[in-house]
Amino acid sequence: MTCIYYDSKTGNVERFVNRLKLQRDWNIQKIDQVSAPVQEGHLITYTTGFGEVPPSTLRFLEENSSSIISITSSGNKNWGPNYALAAKKISALFQLPILMQFELSGTADDIQKFIDNIEG
């Protein structure tokens, strides 16, 4: 079964994963509710500040990056070059591939693209 781990502060990522739940019966868990991943999975997080990785996401990855298959991040295009920059920073720090980036809570097309990327 596909496993998705996520981190959300303002609710954008949570709204994204809640729409995923409507389309797929995947194991989806918020990282603050996971002591350690029980299986490999994909991580979705947000970008904070001026293109920074959330501290909670960093803590999770420092202990569990070996269980993460890919990284996806949300962001806001109003931040220009800092848009969804957390994915790029995580990729560089932990040598994880970027699955995708999406704006705010994503669109229906973003949800489908995410599903296609996971299943394809």
Distance (Å, whole) CA 120 – CA 118: 6
Percent over 90 (pLDDT), the chain: 91
Burial class of residue 119, CB neighbours in 10 A (0-12, 13-18, 19+): exposed
CATH number listed for the domain at residues 3-119: 3.40.50.360
Residue spans per domain, the chain: 3-119
Bridge partners, residue 102, by sequence: 74
Bridge partners, residue 98, by sequence: 71
**What is residue 32's DSSP assignment?**
G
pLDDT single digits (tens) 5-56: 999 999 999 999 999 999 999 999 999 887 778 899 999 999 999 899 999 9
pLDDT single digits (tens) 73-94: 999 999 999 999 999 999 999 9
Q: Which residue matches tokens 């868990």?
A: 29
Beta-strand pair 27-30/41-45: unpaired
Q: How many residues does the chain have?
A: 120
Give pTM, 2 decimals.
Answer: 0.95
